[in-house]
Amino acid sequence: MASKRSTADGDSAVTTDTPMGPTGRPYHGFATPSKLDGHGPARIISLCNQKGGVGKTTTTINLAAALASYGRRVLAVDFDPQGALSAGLGVQTHESATIYDLLLDPKRDPNEVIVSTSVDGLDILPANIDLSAAEVHLVNEVARETILARVLRKVAGDYDVILIDCQPSLGLLTVNALTASHGVLIPLECEFFALRGVALLIETIDKVRDRLNPAITLDGVLATMYDPRTLHSREVLERVVDAFGDDVLETVIGRTVKFPDASVAGVPITKFAPEHSAAQAYLRLARELVSRGAVA
Ligand SMILES: Nc1ncnc2c1ncn2[C@@H]1O[C@H](COP(=O)(O)OP(=O)(O)OP(=O)(O)O)[C@@H](O)[C@H]1O
Ligand SMILES: [Mg+2]
């Protein structure tokens, strides 16, 4: 999209093209992040939305890979018993230890559970269906909301960023993720009911800030599955911008079948189809988050 602007002398015949992004702001490419001298301590970011299928896992995988490609050391935490993040990064979880074992045994070293992925600089704390029992097990624990924070504290020094892929619920696991985090990223699908339930999510973040984690910030709202050809998608994005203003990230993720295809292959899109616009979008998201200071 380009807007035609008259020049200062009012000569409307002479126009300059200002490329506009889909969120109605001028398009920024964002500079390539500079190299880091050393690593850590990590900034921890939860990808959170209790609505299912909005792109939390897809964003965790591809943002993690994009940040790793810029030389950041990244740990992706699968915090959903469905284990989609682990599968999407090609990690088998039936027999190995998982995040669940770390939650249950605070003395256990997370390094025994962390596995590296096929992406340089990207490690994962995997999960499987065992994690579905965690809420029941943890409910009677002392300081049950801070268990994940205590696990991640042990490894935060080794990474520049830790991304937590939350399950679609606002239960105890998600509260643990928010309590462990410096920031939250909310993916919103550009669909009719996108904003439904977001008030409750914001309320949950506010409660966590009041009671458990005063420093937590909203790092951004990410519009996903955007289809510029449909009026519907454009209208939803407009409403999201009306509701969240500058908290809406300028980077918007388009809808494409490349994402399900990459998940089946068990690799990030930046590896599966590096030239595809969807891979470029996640690289731009990584640059935008660095430029906003959400990531080192
Ligand atoms: N931009 C996109 N375009 C097309 N399909 C996408 C896009 N992003 C994600 N998908 C697909 O949509 C489905 C849901 O995405 P994803 O698993 O990332 O959502 P989620 O929020 O993690 O879901 P859940 O709440 O179940 O954990 C997946 O099949 C994924 O491949
Ligand atoms: Mg998911």
Domain range list for the chain:
36-292
Report how far ligand 1's centroid is from the alpha carbon of 274 (Å). 19
Half-sphere exposure of residue 148: CA atoms within 13 angstroms, side-chain side: 31
Q: Which fold, 36-292? A: Rossmann fold (3.40.50)
**Pocket probe mutation, ligand 1, options 259, 270, 285, max atoms within 8 Å of Cβ:** 259
According to DSSP, residue 20 is labeled: B
Paired tokens of 7: 């020049």
Q: Is the pLDDT of residue 9 over 50?
A: no
DSSP E strand boundaries for 100-226: 115-116, 122-125, 161-166, 183-189, 217-224
User: Do 258 and 273 form a contact (C-beta atoms < 8 A)?
Assistant: yes
Paired tokens of 244: 């969240």
- Of all protein residues, whose CA lies closest to atom 14 belonging to ligand 1? 53
Q: Is the pLDDT of residue 98 over 90?
A: yes
In terms of average pLDDT, the best of 17-21, 22-26, 75-79 is 75-79
Distance CA 196, CA 194 (A): 6
Task: Identify the CA nearest to 125 among candidates 176, 87, 76.
Answer: 76
Q: What phi and psi values does residue 32 have, to the nearest 5 degrees? A: -60, 125
Report how far ligand 2's centroid is from the alpha carbon of 232 (Å). 24
Task: Identify the CA nearest to 176 among candidates 129, 140, 203, 138.
Answer: 138
Q: pLDDT tens, 178-236?
A: 999 999 999 999 998 889 889 999 999 999 999 999 999 999 999 999 999 999 999 99
Distance CA 295, CA 288 (A): 9
**Pocket probe mutation, ligand 1, options 47, 50, 58, 285, max atoms within 8 Å of Cβ:** 58
Distance of CA 280 to the CA centre of its chain: 16
User: Do 188 and 56 form a contact (C-beta atoms < 8 A)?
Assistant: no
Q: pLDDT tens, 246-275?
A: 999 999 999 999 999 998 899 999 999 999
Closest listed ligand to the CA of 168: 1
Partners of 183 in the beta sheet? 45, 217
Distance CA 81, CA 216 (A): 24
How would you classify the pairing of strands 15-19 and 2-6?
A: antiparallel
Report how far ligand 1's centroid is from the alpha carbon of 175 (Å). 22
User: Do 188 and 54 form a contact (C-beta atoms < 8 A)?
Assistant: yes
| Mean pLDDT value of segment 125-139 | 94
Per-residue confidence at 16, pLDDT binned at 50, 70, 90? Answer: low
Half-sphere exposure of residue 55: CA atoms within 13 angstroms, side-chain side: 26
Per-residue confidence at 19, pLDDT binned at 50, 70, 90? Answer: confident
Does this model's pTM top 0.85? My answer is yes
Distance CA 134, CA 108 (A): 16
**Ligand 1 cavity residues, CB under 6 Å:** 52-58, 80, 84, 168, 224-225, 253, 255-256, 259-260, 263
Task: Identify the CA nearest to 226 among candidates 217, 237, 218, 215.
Answer: 237
Distance CA 283, CA 251 (A): 10
- Of all protein residues, whose CA lies closest to atom 23 belonging to ligand 1? 53
Report how far ligand 1's centroid is from the alpha carbon of 57 (Å). 7
